Amino acid sequence: MAHKDLSTWKPTSAQALVLAEPSNDLNGYLRLIRALPQLSAEEEIELARRYHEHQDLRAAEQLVLCNLRHVVPIVRGYKGYGLPEADLIQEGSIGLMKAVKRFDIGAGVRLMTFASHWIRAEINEYVLRNWRMVKIATTKAQRKLFFKLRSHKDSLDAVTHTQAIRIAQELGVKPEEVLAMDMRLSYPEVSVAVPNDDNEDDVPQLTLVDLRAMPEQLAIDEEEERNQVALIRDALATLTPREQQIIEARILRDDKATLADLAVQFGVSLERIRQIETAALKKLKTYLSVLKA
């Protein structure tokens, strides 16, 4: 899309339909949101200011449209729950809208740093409402177990008793709850249609899942990779120039520099280089933890 300023851009009727209902054409939706411009931090602040100080709904719309691309990688983390991807994207977009409404430009963070929490919260609620097996997740600890179990497993195989004890300690639940949840997450999807006289073919059927990547999933993977690169770039931008050089030399380069090498380069003591590196890593950890919150 050639438009950098969306203040005068209006989607065509076809584009409006795709934006409103991603399920009608998910590939088209992904292409459309990728074509929308990415906002700079200054542009985000100006649009947020116009919305909050002057109730400029067009500014709020611009903030939402230009950040829809960032909802997709978050949705990717929920692909294992068997729910329609387009529905998850819609729920995440609602979370983004709520975040725009509450965004505080004085906090000193980018919109998506703040919005990621609202997007995940909206998707979590949708999953809990719509996936029948989640009805056992009635407490906060069980909800955490439901959403975190896959990432804590050592493999795709069933959880062993030893693994269940470890996961239970990490997530604050009982080992038997881990085993029960793992069993439920492993159940295949089965139709419960009841045969009737009008349709003899209407019988229960086993639903098989095609595990090959779909075109839209490939697009999401590409988007995720681009966002990871942008995330690293944004995180490094929070460091001072000297901290950036030290982190790059110590961690990001293939031929990593030693503390002694950097001490000579910057004309300071080896211990001072260690202190700078530790402080820089702490800054990065803090920045990234805000995004994951």
DSSP states of 168-193 as a string? HHHHTS-HHHHHHHHHHHTPPPB--P
For the whole model, what pTM was predicted? 0.48
Which of 16, 5, 8 has the alpha carbon at shortest distance from 39?
A: 5
Q: What is the CATH number of domain 1-130?
A: 1.20.120.1810
Q: Among the listed ranges 56-70, 99-113, 140-154, 271-285, which one has the minimum average pLDDT value?
A: 140-154
Tell whether the model's pLDDT for residue 12 goes beyond 60. yes
pLDDT digits (tens, 9 = 90+) for 127-157: 777 764 444 455 666 666 666 666 666 666 6
User: Is residue 237 very low, low, confident or very high in pLDDT (cuts 50, 70, 90)?
Assistant: confident
DSSP state of 56: -
Percent of the chain at pLDDT > 90 equals 22
Confidence at residue 195, expressed as pLDDT on a 0 to 100 scale: 43
Domain 238-293 has CATH 1.10.287.1080: no
Encode burial over 195-213: b for 16+ CB neighbours within 10 A, e otherwise: eeeeeeeeeeeeeeeeeee
Q: At what angle do helices 215-236 and 270-292 cross, to 10 degrees?
A: 140
Interval 152-209: pLDDT, tens: 666 666 777 788 888 888 777 788 777 777 766 665 444 334 444 444 444 433 343 4
Per-residue pLDDT reduced to its tens digit, 39-55? 899 999 999 999 999 99
Give the pLDDT score at 269. 93
- The string of pLDDT tens digits covering residues 202-230 is 443 334 344 444 444 455 556 666 667 67
Mean pLDDT value of segment 2-25: 65
Confidence at residue 224, expressed as pLDDT on a 0 to 100 scale: 64
Q: Report the candidate in 192, 184, 171, 176 with the shortest Cα–Cα distance to residue 134.
A: 184
The confidence band for 13, taking pLDDT boundaries of 50, 70 and 90, is: low
* Residue 89: per-residue pLDDT: 92
The rounded mean pLDDT for the chain is 76
The answer to whether 36 and 52 are in contact (CB under 8 A) is no
Which pLDDT does position 196 carry in this prediction? 45
Q: Please indicate whether the domains covering 1-130 and 238-293 agree at the CATH topology level.
A: no
Structure tokens at 179: 């085993």
pLDDT attached to residue 274: 92
Q: Tokens 């009982």 sit at which residue?
A: 174
Residue ranges per structural domain of the chain: 1-130, 238-293
User: How would residue 94 be classed by pLDDT, with cut points 50, 70 and 90?
Assistant: very high
